Amino acid sequence: MAARIGVDVTTPETRVADGPRNPGPDWGYGFLLGCDRLLPEGLFRPLRAAGTWVALAFMHAQRRHSREYLALVLPEAPTLRDVFRHFFACEEALMAKLRVANGLDIPCEFDPSAAAFEAWLAGGGPFLLGTFHIGASDMLGFQIGCHEKRRVYLVRRRVGNSGDTERLSRISGGCVRFIWGNEASELVFGLKAAADTGDAIALQCDRIENARQMEDFEFLGARRSFPTTIYRLARVLGRPVILTVGVPLPGGRSRLYGTPLFGLVAGEGRDAMRARAREHFQGFLRMVEGLLRERPYLWFNFIPLNPAAGAGAGVATDP
Amino acid sequence: MPDPLNARIKTMIVQTLRLEDIDPASIKDDEPLIGTGLSIDSIDALELVVALEKEYGIKIKSSEESMVALSSVSGLVAFIRQKADPSRLPPA
């Protein structure tokens, strides 16, 4: 079955950012959209590539982290061209997201592994939806809220240039709302309020930067720390979990991959749930690793890679 | 004489969050609950809020209330005292 990524409206509360994390200026998204309207793609794409080279030149830390990651997924040591392709893939994903937010309709197809997500999309429900910063995954919010009209809360950190977020908020017609995680008290209230609605809650599950509790999983040749936040939320809020990632395809389409449903088992103890959660997340990581081995530039991970076990970052905990 | 609600909240924090090596009485009244010595993060705080809601029937209605309620044990006790059904509170 195919769905389409489309658009409509939202309304976020606008609060002060805790400082820009994304590298671009706050007018950058408007500038890109303006150019997209005015310039033919044959001219605009080379300009975007040139802009990416400029970014590459100045973003030393991100370049280093890109190289570290690519060294794990490419068969040979990454070259500067590989790093550029990694940066450019991220830029193109952003551009696609902005276009979708601006009304572009992107066809989306489901891999058989995404059957649980597809079923949720058809029926809705108070699920926890997790994803990674991979490929077209960021556009899931648009698909869920704008086209399929499923109500979903996205957990985000407000940053200085949240233009895409604000735009999604405006166009989703109230289907996509945000839980801002900058302040712990704000996050707690937001999660509780969202849980009380029975709508889905979506969050990114790959980065450890804001997570206190993590566990180690086999990934890219080592045991690496990942946050277990989504499974902790599943236990606290009594909600099932589905993990998905979206991968762009030629011709402006995308394909969704996912996990089976991680459901709740009545009377299950914490340790048993933790073991099931580990198995579920490890299965997702195996799938993601397979995708990244085929499409290495699609994990937009320009921060330090999830540390390998023994690097001192992980704190084992129960979900 | 110790406040029974204060003591109950401290016990709930330890039990709900399985802080097995912490004596409830050792939790300071005015210490921030999140991100300090207790190592409580926002998901722990959410779990605590869910437990408190069940026990006292309270509801946090805004992020401002959340900030006040989760500021410290004292803040939480004051919030519960203000919002809970008095019949659910332990006798003073």
Residue of A nearest to B62 (CA): A189
Tell me which chain A residue has its CA closest to the CA of residue B48: A236
**Which residues of chain B neighbour A185 with C-beta distances below 8 Å?**
34, 45, 63, 66-67, 69-70
Q: Distance from CA of residue B27 to its chain's centroid?
A: 11
- Whole-complex ipTM: 0.86
Q: Hunting for tokens 């999983």 — which residue is that?
A: A217
Q: Burial of B67 by CB count in 10 Å (0-12 exposed, 13-18 middle, 19+ buried)?
A: middle
Which chain A residue lies closest to B40 (C-alpha atoms)? A212
Q: For residues A277 and A265, is the Cβ–Cβ distance under 8 A?
A: no
Q: What type of residue is A154?
A: L
Of B35, B39, B46, the CB nearest to A188: B46
Strands (E), chain B: none
DSSP single-letter state for residue B10? H
**pLDDT at residue number A310:** 67
What local confidence, expressed as pLDDT, does residue A101 receive? 74
Best mutation target, B46, B58, B71, to test chain A (most A CBs within 10 A):
B46
User: Hey, is B91 helix, strand or coil?
Assistant: coil
What residues contact residue B84 under an 8 Å CB cut-off, 6+ apart?
B56, B57, B58
* Residue B58 Cα, gap to closest chain A Cα (Å): 12
pLDDT given at position A15:
33
Residues of chain B with pLDDT under 70: 1, 37, 92
Report chain A's mean pLDDT, rounded to a whole number.
Answer: 84
Q: In what order do the strands lie in the sheet with A2-5?
A: A2-5, A106-110, A253-258, A241-249, A128-135, A200-204, A152-156, A176-180
A295 within 8 A of A127, measured Cβ to Cβ? no
User: Looking at residue B8, what is its pLDDT?
Assistant: 93
**Taking CB atoms and an 8 Å cutoff, what residues of chain A touch B35?**
184
The predicted structure's pLDDT at residue A1: 40
Question: Which of B34, B46, B67 is closest, CB to CB, to A192?
Answer: B46
Residue, of A96 and A310, whose pLDDT is higher:
A96
- Give yes or no for residue A11 having a pLDDT over 70: no
User: Per residue in A224-257, pLDDT tens?
Assistant: 999 999 999 999 999 999 999 999 998 888 899 9
Residues in chain B: 92
Which of B47, B65, B70 is closest, CB to CB, to A236?
B47
Residue A209's pLDDT is 75
**Per-domain residue ranges for chain B?**
4-86
Domain ranges of chain A: 107-296
* Residue with the two structure tokens 């802009």: A51
Architecture of domain B4-86: Orthogonal Bundle (1.10)
* Chain A closest-CA separation from residue B8 CA (Å): 21
At residue B40, φ and ψ (nearest 5 deg) are -85, 130
Mean pLDDT of A146-150: 69
Is a pLDDT exceeding 50 seen at residue A210? Answer: yes
> Which A residues, 132 through 151, put their C-beta within 8 Å of a C-beta on chain B?
none
The radius of gyration of chain A from alpha carbons, rounded to an integer in Å, stands at: 19
Q: Residue A4: its pLDDT value, please?
A: 35
Name the minimum distance, in Å, from the CA of A191 to any CA of chain B. 8
User: What is the dihedral sign for C-alpha A29, A35, A41, A45?
Assistant: negative
